[in-house]
């Protein structure tokens, strides 16, 4: 199988993301591979472990996004490609999907395009479906696992709110994985050695034959969540039993439960 896994470089989940002067900032916190995308890489690698083939990591972003790609290489992806162009600054989800779809077509012969369920920065969670639409591939989103693959079909188990749903689709397809796929593997030293020596090609919009995407959505204002008034009350009592009972009363009185 030839699998393309799309990864994004995002601020570390431990970073404090705030709005300052109308701009989103995470200070000097490091950028990391989107945690959901690590599951996507893991899912893709597991498929290739079983079925044979290769996984190519693809990202759109500036030079720093190479770090996310190197992480994917260190985990075991065979190649990595970065799409980078000054005209892509601030592009929306649809624009991103157009770029990724064009890159998948340029790579050619792809059986499966794999995403994480969403990116932890924008949290839109629509890029996988949009990319599928643009490629004309079926979108099998929120896959918890792959039940079976043949030369032209794939069966996945989806994790949805109501439970699990088994869906079959034609290949080539777009998949997004949830964390049910299993813990992402740790990069090995051998993988790191390969990643640190890898030359990652950078494709521009010209090379993809795309015009600069025109945004369909914009963010007129970004606001911090309103500060909440928090008061702390220490519950005291002679015995743990008494403290617990008082706590239960409080919880019921405040309608927390």
What residues make contact with other proteins under the rule CB under 8 A?
A: 70, 74, 185-190, 192-193, 195-197
Sign for the CA dihedral angle at 246, 249, 255, 257 comes to: positive
- Give the residue with the Cβ less far from other proteins, 14 or 221: 14
Cβ 66 to other proteins, closest distance in Å? 10
Cβ 190 to other proteins, closest distance in Å? 6
In angstroms, the Cα distances linking 5 to 2, 35, 177, 204 are: 10, 13, 11, 19
- Give the residue with the Cβ less far from other proteins, 29 or 192: 192
User: What b-and-e string marks burial along 221-239, b requiring 16 or more CB atoms within 10 Å of the CB?
Assistant: eeeeeeeeeeeeeeeeeee
- Give the residue with the Cβ less far from other proteins, 33 or 101: 33
CA distance 91 to 208: 16
Interior angle at CA 175, CA 169 and CA 179, nearest 5: 125
Length of the chain, in residues: 257
Task: Count CB atoms within 10 A of the CB of residue 208.
Answer: 18
Interior angle at CA 221, CA 217 and CA 226, nearest 5: 130
For the chain, what percentages of helix, strand and coil (3-state, to nearest 5) are there?
A: 35, 25, 40
Cβ 185 to other proteins, closest distance in Å? 7
Cβ 183 to other proteins, closest distance in Å? 9
Cβ 61 to other proteins, closest distance in Å? 18
Q: Which residue carries 């190649």 as its tokens?
A: 79
- Give the residue with the Cβ less far from other proteins, 26 or 133: 26
> Is there a contact between 65 and 59 (Cβ–Cβ < 8 Å)?
yes
- Give the residue with the Cβ less far from other proteins, 133 or 185: 185
- Give the residue with the Cβ less far from other proteins, 59 or 176: 59
- Give the residue with the Cβ less far from other proteins, 189 or 221: 189
Cβ 179 to other proteins, closest distance in Å? 14
Task: Count CB atoms within 10 A of the CB of residue 100.
Answer: 26
Q: Which residue carries 């839109």 as its tokens?
A: 124
Cβ 110 to other proteins, closest distance in Å? 27
């Amino acid at each position: 199988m030839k699998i393309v896994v799309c990864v994004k470089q995002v601020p570390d989940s431990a970073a404090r993301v705030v709005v300052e002067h109308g701009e989103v900032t995470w200070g000097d916190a490091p950028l990391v591979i989107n945690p959901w995308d690590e599951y996507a890489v893991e899912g893709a690698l597991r498929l290739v472990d079983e079925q044979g083939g290769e996984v190519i990591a693809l990202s759109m972003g500036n030079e720093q996004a190479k770090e996310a790609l190197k992480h994917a290489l260190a985990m075991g992806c065979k190649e990595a490609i970065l799409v980078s162009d000054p005209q892509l600054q601030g592009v929306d989800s649809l624009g991103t999907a157009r770029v990724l779809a064009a890159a998948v077509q340029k790579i050619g012969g792809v059986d499966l395009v794999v995403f994480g369920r969403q990116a932890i920065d924008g949290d839109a969670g629509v890029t996988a479906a949009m990319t599928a639409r643009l490629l004309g591939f079926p979108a099998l989103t929120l896959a918890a696992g792959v039940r079976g693959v043949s030369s032209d079909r794939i069966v996945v188990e989806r994790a949805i709110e109501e439970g699990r749903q088994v869906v079959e689709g034609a290949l080539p397809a777009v998949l997004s994985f949830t964390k049910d796929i299993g813990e992402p593997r740790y990069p090995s030293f051998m993988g790191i050695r390969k990643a640190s020596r890898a030359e990652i090609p950078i494709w521009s919009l010209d090379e993809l034959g795309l015009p600069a995407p025109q945004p369909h959505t914009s963010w007129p204002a970004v606001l911090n969540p309103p500060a909440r008034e928090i008061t702390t009350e220490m519950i005291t009592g002679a015995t743990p039993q008494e403290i617990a009972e008082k706590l239960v009363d409080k919880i019921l009185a405040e309608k927390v439960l």
